[in-house]
Amino acid sequence: MGAKRPKVPSDLRRRVLIEAGHRCAIPTCRSTPVEIAHIVPWAKVRTHEFKNLIALCPTCHARFDDPHGAIDRTAMRQYKANLNPLLIAASVGMPEQIGLLAAYQEFRMRFSSWITSELEHAAMKRKRRSSPEVVEEIRLKSIDCFAWALGATLDFQRVWENYDASGLAGAIFFHVAEWSDELAESPLPLPKIIARRDIMEEISEASSELHLAVCEAVGF
């Protein structure tokens, strides 16, 4: 006899909704209204846990539940990792978690600007008509972004000193550094490098692992 599925408790439901800003968590969608979806299906986990729940609109929810659908679980975990848990701590009154989550948020923002600027730089270098001044300007910007990401990693590791998340953040830093070296040195056209998905996948896996470690540590 299977146990009956209980409702998602209202405070947990509220946290999941706040995390996604009450909109569909898929960044290109962001529709309303939203439903609470299980990343690993309820039938398998038989529990409602923050780290496994995500807000989706009915259309994206149906696409995700469709076994032949285009959205797989790895992608869904990445969407979850892209959401902002700092919002929840601030709005449901978890003052002791705010410092930890603020360092995490800063880490994510700095990495996203670093990756964006490396891509911009690589694209600009490969354009035949880019002026050397513009390429140089973007190169300097990506060096700044690298330095900020390094600073954010060190800050993160100081604040998260006693947690596993600290080591994971360091690993992400090294993966991204490796990826950006490859981007800078490779003579291949940009789409070919981006199509080599191995490093990007490692980065994406490490970042969802980090997200789960953060959620666990702050008690979500």
Nearest distance in Å: CB 53, Zn ion = 15
Residue at 98: amino acid letter: I
Among residue numbers 100 through 129, which ones bind Zn ion (CB under 5 A)? none
Cis peptide before 9 (omega within 30 of 0): no
Number of continuous H segments (helices) and E segments (strands) in the chain: 10, 2
Nearest distance in Å: CB 1, Zn ion = 35
Closer CB to Zn ion, 79 or 160, in the complex? 79
Describe the crossing of helices 165-185 and 95-126 by its angle, rounded to 10 degrees.
10
Closer CB to Zn ion, 59 or 112, in the complex? 59
Among residue numbers 24 through 43, which ones bind Zn ion (CB under 5 A)? 24, 26, 29, 31
Q: Which of 16, 20, 55, 60 binds Zn ion (CB under 5 A)?
A: 60
Say if CB 220 and CB 88 are below 8 A apart.
yes
3-class secondary structure, 37: strand
Q: What is the largest CA-CA distance in the chain?
A: 71
Closer CB to Zn ion, 35 or 181, in the complex? 35
Sequence length of the chain is 220
138 binds Zn ion, rule: CB under 5 A: no
Q: Which of 20, 57, 88, 214 binds Zn ion (CB under 5 A)?
A: 57
Helical ranges in 33-72 per DSSP H = 42-45, 58-65
What distance in Å separates the CA atoms of residue 82 and residue 84, rounded to the nearest whole number? 7
Nearest distance in Å: CB 34, Zn ion = 8
Over its C-alpha atoms, the chain yields an Rg (Å, rounded) of: 19
Nearest distance in Å: CB 76, Zn ion = 11
What distance in Å separates the CA atoms of residue 138 and residue 75, rounded to the nearest whole number? 30
Closer CB to Zn ion, 17 or 29, in the complex? 29
Nearest distance in Å: CB 41, Zn ion = 18
Beta bridge partners of 53: 38
50-58, 71-79, 135-143, 177-185 -> range binding Zn ion (CB under 5 A)? 50-58
51-59, 98-106, 128-136, 182-190 -> range binding Zn ion (CB under 5 A)? 51-59
Site size with Zn ion, rule: CB under 5 A: 6
Residues near Zn ion (CB under 5 A) are 24, 26, 29, 31, 57, 60
